[in-house]
Structure 1
Amino acid sequence: MAQGQNLNADQLFEKINAAKDSKSLLKKHLTPEIFAATKDKVSKFKGTLADCIRSGCMNPDSGVGIYASDPDAYTTFAAVLDPVIKDYHNVTELNHPKPDFGDTSKLDFGDLDPSGDMIVSTRVRVGRSHASYGFPPVLTLEDRVEMEKNTVKCLAKLTGDLKGEYCPLTGMTKEKQAELTADHFLFNDSDRFLREAGGYNDWPTGRGIYFATNKKFLVWVNEEDHLRFISMQMGGNLGEVYTRLVKAIKELETSGLEFAKKDNLGYLTFCPSNLGTTLRASVHIKIPKLAADPEFKKFCDGLHIQARGIHGEHTESVGGVYDISNKRRLGLTEIEAVQEMRRGVEAVIKREKELSGK
């Protein structure tokens, strides 16, 4: 149960103001003036400022500290969300371009590591939200069940190598749990920031996992976002992974799913850290020499890529293997984001080989 669930906006604002050591973007940008101008506003989905700031006020050690209560929150509470978004994404203007996935039949990249010596696996994922539903803080149990039902109906229309099986978390057998855990597919309710934001309300009702028969395409339903589409496979064939994801998105858009978007922000999700393309393309790659270089972070920053441990942000490398991904998601198109990641990974491979004397 979220500890701050019964606190109103004024009480929450008092808490974050009292947290002198907080370095969150919420603390930085929610000024008394902005708070006074937004605290009594209500979105089209009945979301409030308290719904948006609860997690960051109860967890002053948050990095961002604010969530969107629903798609309309990005308009209703723009006075605080816009500066947070600009700060997090390092942009001066919010003018995200229209979606452009490129022509996947004419991609100029394929396998980034044909030798198979360095790249362990490749993954591309996006977040999506149903346009007609709010985000976790405002959803009812009935909303979650209905949203899951509508999603599963559309997933059942996927064809070819995207065709697969949906496994709801409710009533899942121990055998299926073990299988999905072994495949690293299963998500859980252990994040305290999400819990305080209402992300685990009614857990596990309305949640589940869809995976293609070949396990190279996966959908998380009502984990943090309404939907997470993930394309992945072993090795370094980014072309195949990206093409599969684009095919899935297009099939689902024509099957009856309408995704929440805003003209200047692109696709909308629960957390303002994941807007625009919402696309994260990554490889798990063996780079022990480069990772040991004191200039490693600076090298990555110069290429607009991010390096982290294979178990996610703030985790350590295992055996010299790092997760390398595109850093920018807002202000560029999908194909530009993937190309930026591709060029970054190619530069990482080249530098690792130089340091290894190859």
Structure 2
Amino acid sequence: EGYPFNPCLTEAQYKEMESKVSTTLSGLEGELKGKFYPLTGMDKAVQQQLIDDHFLFKEGDRFLQAANACRFWPSGRGIYHNDNKTFLVWCNEEDHLRIISMQMGGDLGQVYKRLVTAVNDIEKRVPFSHHDRLGFLTFCPTNLGTTIRASVHIKVPKLAKDMPKLEAVADKYNLQVRGTRGEHSEAEGGIYDISNKRRMGLTEYD
């Protein structure tokens, strides 16, 4: 709250937000306790390993670049993660904050509980932009509303050979199919990122 979206941010605002986010997250405790790592000055090998492990974002794709959302890269960008790397916060990627809860296995309840705990704690320190009709505000209109994208990485080798069928099944249940490296990426070894497509007009429970 209080800052424009990425295309309108100045470099000074990027850096100011990075500092504010780092300070805010340093107050997290327990399972959420961790460390903030600025992208500026980060070792390239460390950065690539975090990307390969699906923990860190890359510089925006051609769509974000066309929207002028990658200016001053990597200034003002960073990542926070706890010791177990089950809780992460991306600073100034596509949105000002992207709060992530993740872990191996199928315990979705634990993943969601961790997310709710973190969001409630962070929101006490830095208020989020919210609209009475649209819900929480985000850079991309497809994320308006709850802003929650719940995804699983799942191997579906047979469906991977028949993309039209996979996409038809996904559409039937309002799901989105992506590659394992995010939007506009390819699947690797028949493993896809499957997530909910709708965020607006639904509650978090829905």
* Structure 1 position 317, deviation (Å): 3.0
* Structure 1 position 291, deviation (Å): 4.3
Aligned partner of 1:187 among 38, 57, 62: 57
CA RMSD, Structure 1 to Structure 2 (Å): 1.9
* Structure 1 position 218, deviation (Å): 0.7
* Structure 1 position 152, deviation (Å): 1.1
**1:102 aligns to what?**
none
Inter-partner Cα distance in structure 2 for 1:324 and 1:183: 17
Inter-partner Cα distance in structure 1 for 2:144 and 2:151: 17
Is contact 2:179–2:188 with CA below 8 Å preserved after alignment? yes
**2:94 aligns to what?**
224
SS in structure 1 at match of 2:142: coil
* Structure 1 position 211, deviation (Å): 0.6
Normalised TM-score (structure 2)? 0.91
Cα deviation, 1:13-40, whole Å, max 9, x if unaligned, reads xxxxxxxxxxxxxxxxxxxxxxxxxxxx
SS in structure 1 at match of 2:55: coil
* Structure 1 position 178, deviation (Å): 4.3
Inter-partner Cα distance in structure 1 for 2:55 and 2:130: 27
Aligned partner of 2:21 among 132, 144, 151: 151
Residue 138 in structure 1 maps to residue 19 in structure 2? no
**1:23 aligns to what?**
none
| 2:135 alignment partner AA | G
Normalised TM-score (structure 1)? 0.54
| 2:22 alignment partner AA | V
Cα deviation, 1:166-201, whole Å, max 9, x if unaligned, reads 000112234532442343323232522212322121
* Structure 1 position 296, deviation (Å): 3.1
Inter-partner Cα distance in structure 2 for 1:250 and 1:258: 10
**2:139 aligns to what?**
270
Is contact 2:7–2:70 with CA below 8 Å preserved after alignment? no
Which range moved further: 182-191 or 192-201?
182-191
Indicate the percent of aligned positions where both proteins have the same amino acid.
57
Number of corresponding residues:
205
| 1:211 alignment partner AA | H
* Structure 1 position 212, deviation (Å): 0.7
Q: Structure 1's 280 and 318: CA in aligned 2 closer, same or farther, altered over 3 A?
A: same
* Structure 1 position 320, deviation (Å): 2.5
Structure 1: runs of 5 or more not aligned: 1-130, 337-358
Which structure carries more helix by proportion? 1
Inter-partner Cα distance in structure 2 for 1:237 and 1:132: 36
Cα deviation, 1:35-62, whole Å, max 9, x if unaligned, reads xxxxxxxxxxxxxxxxxxxxxxxxxxxx
SS in structure 2 at match of 1:165: strand
Structure 2: runs of 5 or more not aligned: none
* Structure 1 position 268, deviation (Å): 0.5
Q: Which has the larger radius of gyration?
A: 1
**1:282 aligns to what?**
151
Aligned partner of 1:239 among 109, 117, 136: 109
* Structure 1 position 235, deviation (Å): 1.5
Inter-partner Cα distance in structure 1 for 2:74 and 2:153: 30
Q: Structure 1's 177 and 288: CA in aligned 2 closer, same or farther, altered over 3 A?
A: closer
Which range moved further: 265-274 or 308-317?
308-317
* Structure 1 position 261, deviation (Å): 0.8
SS in structure 2 at match of 1:225: coil
Q: How does 1:1-358 map to 2 (within 5 A)?
A: 131-254=1-124, 256-292=125-161, 295-336=165-206
Is contact 2:38–2:77 with CA below 8 Å preserved after alignment? yes
* Structure 1 position 272, deviation (Å): 1.2
Inter-partner Cα distance in structure 2 for 1:141 and 1:165: 23
Inter-partner Cα distance in structure 1 for 2:45 and 2:183: 29
SS in structure 2 at match of 1:323: strand
**1:345 aligns to what?**
none
